[in-house]
Structure 1
Amino acid sequence: MDGKKNGAINSTNANGHVSNGDINSSKEELKLSCLQKISHKIISVLETAFYRLGRIIGTHPWRVMIIATVVTGLICIAAPFTFTESADGDDTLWVPVNAKVLDYKSWVESVFPSTVRFGTMIFVSNNVLTPTVLSAMWSIYNSSLSLTTGTNNFSTLCIQSGSNCLVNSILELWSYDETTILALSQADIKTKINSATSSPMYYNSYDVTTVLGGEVYDGSGDIDSASATKMTWFIQGDDAVQAQAEAWEQLLIDLGRNGHSDISSTYVFAIRSFGDEAGGAIRGDIAFLSAGYVIVIVYITIMLGKFNCLEQRFGLAIAGVVVVGMSIGICFSLASLCGFEYGPLHSVLPFLLLGIGVDDMFVIVGALKNLSDEQQKLPLNERIGKALRHSGASITVTSLTDIMAFFIGATTLLPALRSFCIFAAFGIIALYGLSTTFFVSAMAVDVKRAAARLNACCCFYKHKPEYKPNNCSQKEYLPTFILKFYAPHLLKFPVKIVVLVLTAALFGLTIWGTVNLEQKFEEKWFLPSDSYAYDYLTASDKYFSSGQEQAGVYCKSIDYFSKKTEMDSLYTQLTASNYVVNGTVDSWFKSYTDWLSTTSDAAVTAQIDGTTKYPLDSTKFYDLLYQFVTTETTGLRFSRNLKFSNTSSVLGLTGSKISFYHPSVKDTVEGFNVLDGIQSLVAGIAGSDCFPYSQIHLTWESNKVIRQELYRNIALAAVCVFIICLVLIANIWTSLMVFSCVALTFVNVGGFMHFWGLTIDVVTCVQLILAIGLAVDYSAHIGHCFMTFQGGRNERVKATLVEIGGPVISGGFSTFLAFVLLAVSKSYVFTTFFKVLFLVVIFGLFHGLVYLPVLLSMIGPAAYLSADRRYQHDQKEKDEENGVDNYAMEKQFPPPDYDNDTKDKVYIPPPDYTPPMTRKYSNRVSPEKR
């Protein structure tokens, strides 16, 4: 109804009485628009379905609870057999499934299996280029050689480079010789580091800046001092020695954490560190889950019931938490059956489902509390049916929007995000089903218990008839506050203006923050902030901000003999490229051809062309190459970069690698620009025969699509949310107003994320999608409830706030309580979850309970045709004070639907009816004055 002066208004209330609108059209057939017909049909179907479900549950509560429990058990049976967990540190979780880099990674791991492990230390001092610090470093190096696990020590586990174990540090310039290093002077050190161009141990080109941090240069451009340096040990990682290698790494970690008295700070990291620390952080913080559940149980016990032995609802609170637990089991089982893995993001699922589930429970219990005095006298099944009639439709809106938001998120290309969204969607589906069956059944049982005067905590004890609950417990503080203070003040015109201005100001401020929200993602964020591994990575970022990431150009099984031009071009263009650190390209092909050009070995010169200094044929090319990397000093280091094949006694190569380092990248955009640039460079020279690959490419590839994926998911989720609101709220104007709350909340959250130092990454992507769903919860309940009341706009808003405001506040606060302990977590996933959810709750409640009521009071649409409730609190209280019953006429002849601003709608009683007293209402004209 839109309040038009000539609109024909006919509707039937719950008691079967017809309310007549315009007297001149009381007999005309009601004319409805297409949208109104759809609206009426949808609401009627939903409310009828939930009413019937409520009657069934009220009649057979125990039977429904048992059926829900059995179904849940059957679904959860599969979980132990299908549940899989992604490996700690699995970096492919964050990479788009269609990314080329995944194919490159797969090829590299198959041809060059990752059997190399490492441990590394960063040494920090005022100046590490001093005899004292270098002596201390040698002492740590020497101690590492004696670290023994079982029968293995470093010499038996190390990666060999020629005849030496591979340990990269500045000490290799002096070949780790104790006598030489301990005798160094300051001048000796400065001369060496500024003149070294190759390693005397491994015979590769050497750039000291790759192992120095915080360099200070003198007036002549030479390195004078440095704040940090690092040392890296390389060990074998084959399956046969993996356990021993991991044990040795732990010994090295312990050695590094002990430090040295002559070095200010020592930071250590190893291959095992990420899995140990990241997994441990999340598993350790699960203790917060238990504490959060206890807090929520206490809170909902207080809010759902009353402070007396009879009306307290501790059992119902436990049933609510059981519903959340059952939903967690269902989502784990169904998602695992669909082939999705449990990942590092999934640890927040229990908190998420707890917060959402409790919201729905407050709405259901609130609907039961708000039944009229006459309805409270109905049989139990009728009361449950009427309570579920309105609350069921309301939680349908919020649940469907959450579900659709997560299913939209599941279409992402990022596996970790996709998996989490599937788990969450199944969890919310389970919550919705169990809340409207198991929890409502528990509520019916609790009502029966209270009616039988059984104790709330000990249901075997029956209170005597003379027992009366204390007066304090009978007071409804929150509804009274809303009725007496909050709603009347909010609906004052000056307050409405202040609310709208404040909303606009918040929007302006936060849209600037949202636009400036940075995109950034670092794997170290998954480490606890107080861990040694996090400290190492932080020190690495600080002192080695040059960010020189090791990479390589890998070439497949091609005819290398005939590809001389391409291989030479690769070296030349890589050396000159801005995507490669100058002097770090280490090409086996270049070293090999240099050796061929300079060797005087007669056996070699006999097999090469005298002019080109190149092998005469393919066979000689591979034979001489094998000789070069197995016997020549300058070629030994390349043995790890070449994979020889031997078919029919003819050598060949199945793969090769040219090593280099990427330069620093100052931000995410520059990172994926480097990635695109190096991929284009290599493809332009060698086509599909060769490709660049590095571990850092996985991160860059992830960052490359995160923003696009976020925008796509948000846009699709927003469209779905609006459509669902439109279909289920069934009024375009109310749906638009609810959607404006969602949009404003989302912008506010994004803006304050920027102010709080958060960025766009895979973790916040999940939570921003979640924000859309949760933001709907607070406003959709208000919008839907508003449509179920007859009366003027202000009256309907007040009725809505009194009925649903309390449950919405309680639901929001319980959501906050569910995750508040995460604020002190050391896990990035948990702390970020707290920050974003905190913002969602604050701004969601503001827009749902402040902004939306003001908007509805000013431009809200008319109620549903099926609306049979009316706000009468204020006038009823005045009449009761005067001892007058002015509702006799309204009870027999309910008033028509109307608008606050419309003054010409008249209530016309039958000619033979004489009311005991005639009263003028604020929105209608009395018969005497008509």
Structure 2
Amino acid sequence: VESYDTAILYYYMVVPKSDEDVVKKWEVEARRLTSSGKYGLLDAGLSSDNLLTEEVERMGTETAPLLVGAIVFMILFVVLTSLRYERSRSKPWEAMIGALIPIMANISAIGLMSACGLKFQSIVVCTLFLVQAVGCDGVFVMLRAWDVSKCHTDVVTRMAVTMKDAGPSITITSLTNALAFAVDIYSFTPAIQTFSIYSTAACVLCYIYQILLFSAVLALSGRREEKGMQAILWWRKADPKARYSALRWLKKFNADVIYRWSRIVTAWPTKIALVFVLLAYWYGALYGVLTMKTDLRVQKLALPNSYIVKYKDIHENAITAMQPLTIVVQQPGDLKNSTQLHRLKKLVKDYESTTFSYGSDSTFFWLSAYQEFLAFYADGDEEYFSYSEIPTFLKSASYSFWRAYLHINETACDNDQPDCVQQYIFNTGYHTVVKYTDMIPVLAEWRAIAANYSDLGVYAYTERALFTDQADQLADSIYTNVPMGLVCMVIVCIIFIPNVVSIVCAMLSVISISFGVFGYLSLSGVDLDPLSLAALLMSIGFSVDYTAHISYHYYKFTSKANPTERVEQTLKAIGWPTMQGGLATAFAMWPLLLKRSYLTTVFLKTVVLVVFLGLAHSMIVLPALLTCLDRFNCDKQGCKQKKSTPESINSSGSSSHTNISTICSSSTKNDSIS
């Protein structure tokens, strides 16, 4: 060795389970020493699983306080959008309680999962943001449904109409969100499993709180309206003529936009132009999917300024020259048998001949040194082998370092029996391959050699094998988890939207949104890894929030023979709440910009893409598609002969209730923002 610029030292520690804290203390002290400046001529660093865990936890600890910003924004947004033209019908206090429901769901989920023994991990911080962001969608839908039911003076009837109108929509979106996370519970990455379990539990609890708690809050609000009390100062009598003049213009503007938009989006020139826009959109998404790279670097789990990030970058550059491969032989057999001895030597040569192997110059094999030791005492007979000298060999000053490579039974050694060497390891080097995706075929080659010596209990170990296996399993996970997620979405939609055309349109939109999210995430610099896979599954569930609302309400208005009128009524009923949910979801994630990391970037980009593409599909693509396929719903005569629609409050579809729903719908024709 003439010179070198980098050296890597490996320390292996064996301690009882009860003394794990000793290792952590040693690592902390070693890190303090390397960064103390005591060795000014050396730029040293160290890494371990514990230190990596600390950095990941630090990311979660520093990101969690930003949740306060998301909560404050969400409360302000929900409260402001709850104001109505008629002041007494505003619901600021009710809206604030609705904005707090996601917080209650998050706290309940953390408590429940902790009680079940599931450890809180830093990635769960993203769950807190995501549930806070999407947890208010149901609040917007229920508030809108309550406004539509205002023609009913009886609170019980209003509540029934509200839940009939909003219940299926909330159930669809909540179930699809929960199922999208649940699909990844069987992920091969423990952190993603924890994230999925927490997220699923939080979504379910959020749904329960919305149905049980917020509906009760709305009922109390109805009692207040019955008594004619103010919205803010609820103990004071309200002025029936009091109005928010600023909302009058907004109310009229909203009605005009919906009227014009429903005619523009259903016009054939718009549909033809939309085809070309979608083709360009799909082409860009396809290019992104095809060029997406798999990258599972552990640096992604820490903050950009983390100590681990700098160290790992230097470390990966250094190990390009050579890395150690450890081969474990658990059943070496009788080494006094010349055939068995030569077979063990051939095993070593096989590994020295693999792709990217450094060759025999990098091999540390105790047997070669031991036979040299024996040959010195056996007059140069290199074929001679005896177990009896192994203890002496390991105790000699020149060869004592081999103790770490063998597990022996000294009694059997003294009796020259094969049980002397119970297990052993040897090392050899390999070079060039550093990326986990590049190591997949190399690792497969090593394991194939081990399989050829299965009777010896051979196992090829490298510290990079774990992430290499994960990289290898990513493709399989996409081909299984994504279709499974889509199937779950279809099943939920079939249950709550019993109309083939509406289901087909909704699912085509979900596929288009998910395809676009994954493709454009790739173009924005996101790699294929467990985090982006979880984000893809999440996007499938979130995209249903937008498409299901429109499809369900379009299906409801079957009494409208004109497709354009059905689109108009659909947008009046659910268009504004859908926009509210999308805007609230996107803006609630903005605090993550203040603490940038790969983890937060992936979920932030995913949410923004889902919201943008979801709103575009729900407000443009889906209405155009539904009206194109409307002729396949039923013939005109069949539509006219419908005696009942989903507008009826009860399942029997009685004419009296159908008439009530029609009157309510008419009374709110120009009241999309009440």
Report TM bin, short chain.
Answer: 0.7 to 0.9
SS in 2 for 1:553: strand
SS in 2 for 1:270: coil
How much does 1:720 deviate? Answer: 2.4
Matches within 5 A, 1:524-603: 524-541=299-316, 543-544=317-318, 546=320, 548-561=322-335, 562=337, 563-582=340-359, 583-597=361-375, 599=376
CA distance in 1, matches of 2:646, 2:539: 33
CA distance in 2, matches of 1:248, 1:498: 66
Q: Tell me which residue corresponds to 2:652.
A: none
CA distance in 1, matches of 2:531, 2:320: 26
Q: Tell me which residue corresponds to 2:407.
A: 643
SS in 2 for 1:370: helix
Amino acid at match of 1:580: S
1:408 aligns with 2:183: yes
CA distance in 2, matches of 1:662, 1:304: 64
1:743 aligns with 2:518: no
Q: Give the conservation status (yes or no) of the 8 Å contact 1:256–1:268.
A: yes
Q: Give the conservation status (yes or no) of the 8 Å contact 1:788–1:866.
A: no
Amino acid at match of 1:636: S
Structure-2-length-normalised TM-score = 0.86
CA distance in 2, matches of 1:482, 1:549: 65
Q: Give the conservation status (yes or no) of the 8 Å contact 2:328–2:423.
A: yes
How much does 1:891 deviate? Answer: 8.2
Query: In 2 relative to 1, CA 749–596 (structure 1 residues): closer, same or farther, beyond 3 Å?
Result: same
Query: In 2 relative to 1, CA 437–246 (structure 1 residues): closer, same or farther, beyond 3 Å?
Result: closer
SS in 1 for 2:384: coil
How much does 1:231 deviate? Answer: 5.3
Give unpaired runs (5+ residues) of structure 1.
Answer: 1-172, 174-191, 194-211, 213-227, 871-889, 896-930
Deviates more, 1:810-819 or 1:352-361: 352-361
Alignment deviations for residues 467-502 of structure 1 (CA, whole Å, 9 cap, x no partner): 723322455447336325533433343333322321
Q: Tell me which residue corresponds to 2:667.
A: none
Q: Tell me which residue corresponds to 2:162.
A: 387
Q: Give the conservation status (yes or no) of the 8 Å contact 2:408–2:420.
A: yes
CA distance in 1, matches of 2:92, 2:38: 58
How much does 1:571 deviate? Answer: 2.0
CA distance in 1, matches of 2:72, 2:333: 68
Q: Give the conservation status (yes or no) of the 8 Å contact 1:567–1:589.
A: no
SS in 2 for 1:351: helix
Q: Tell me which residue corresponds to 2:666.
A: none
1:823 aligns with 2:588: no
1:605 aligns with 2:382: no
Deviates more, 1:342-351 or 1:287-296: 342-351
Q: Give the conservation status (yes or no) of the 8 Å contact 1:268–1:536.
A: yes
Equivalent of residue 844 in structure 1, options 603, 606, 614: 614
SS in 2 for 1:730: coil
Q: Tell me which residue corresponds to 1:811.
A: 581
How much does 1:737 deviate? Answer: 0.6
Query: In 2 relative to 1, CA 842–547 (structure 1 residues): closer, same or farther, beyond 3 Å?
Result: farther
Q: Tell me which residue corresponds to 1:157.
A: none
Aligned residues: 633
**Larger strand share, 1 or 2:** 1
Deviates more, 1:713-722 or 1:426-435: 426-435
Q: Give the conservation status (yes or no) of the 8 Å contact 1:566–1:686.
A: no
Matches within 5 A, 1:161-240: 192-193=2-3, 212=4, 228-230=5-7, 232=9, 234=11, 238=15
Equivalent of residue 493 in structure 2, options 725, 729, 748: 725
Query: In 2 relative to 1, CA 247–400 (structure 1 residues): closer, same or farther, beyond 3 Å?
Result: closer
Q: Tell me which residue corresponds to 2:146.
A: 368
How much does 1:340 deviate? Answer: 4.7
RMSD over aligned Cα atoms: 3.2
How much does 1:370 deviate? Answer: 2.5
Query: In 2 relative to 1, CA 642–776 (structure 1 residues): closer, same or farther, beyond 3 Å?
Result: same
How much does 1:694 deviate? Answer: 1.9
How much does 1:289 deviate? Answer: 1.4
CA distance in 2, matches of 1:412, 1:251: 35
Amino acid at match of 1:437: L
Equivalent of residue 391 in structure 2, options 614, 626, 644: 626
CA distance in 2, matches of 1:339, 1:464: 51
SS in 2 for 1:580: coil
Equivalent of residue 479 in structure 1, options 243, 254, 264: 254
Query: In 2 relative to 1, CA 455–638 (structure 1 residues): closer, same or farther, beyond 3 Å?
Result: farther
CA distance in 2, matches of 1:771, 1:675: 33
Q: Give the conservation status (yes or no) of the 8 Å contact 1:514–1:751.
A: yes
Deviates more, 1:484-493 or 1:678-687: 484-493
How much does 1:338 deviate? Answer: 6.1
Give unpaired runs (5+ residues) of structure 2.
Answer: 649-657, 664-674
Query: In 2 relative to 1, CA 891–867 (structure 1 residues): closer, same or farther, beyond 3 Å?
Result: closer
How much does 1:763 deviate? Answer: 0.9
Q: Tell me which residue corresponds to 1:55.
A: none
Q: Give the conservation status (yes or no) of the 8 Å contact 1:361–1:435.
A: yes
CA distance in 2, matches of 1:250, 1:409: 35
Alignment deviations for residues 7-39 of structure 1 (CA, whole Å, 9 cap, x no partner): xxxxxxxxxxxxxxxxxxxxxxxxxxxxxxxxx
Amino acid at match of 2:520: F
How much does 1:626 deviate? Answer: 2.1
CA distance in 1, matches of 2:423, 2:324: 18
Equivalent of residue 428 in structure 2, options 660, 665, 673: 660
CA distance in 2, matches of 1:588, 1:389: 77
Amino acid at match of 1:629: L
1:832 aligns with 2:602: yes
Q: Give the conservation status (yes or no) of the 8 Å contact 1:452–1:462.
A: no
Q: Give the conservation status (yes or no) of the 8 Å contact 1:771–1:837.
A: yes
CA distance in 2, matches of 1:413, 1:812: 31
Structure-1-length-normalised TM-score = 0.63
Q: Tell me which residue corresponds to 1:431.
A: 206
Equivalent of residue 289 in structure 1, options 45, 67, 70: 67
How much does 1:384 deviate? Answer: 1.5
Query: In 2 relative to 1, CA 566–481 (structure 1 residues): closer, same or farther, beyond 3 Å?
Result: farther
CA distance in 1, matches of 2:122, 2:619: 35
Query: In 2 relative to 1, CA 546–481 (structure 1 residues): closer, same or farther, beyond 3 Å?
Result: farther
SS in 2 for 1:760: coil
CA distance in 2, matches of 1:426, 1:657: 45
Amino acid at match of 2:564: N
Q: Which has the higher Rg, Structure 1 or Structure 2? A: 1
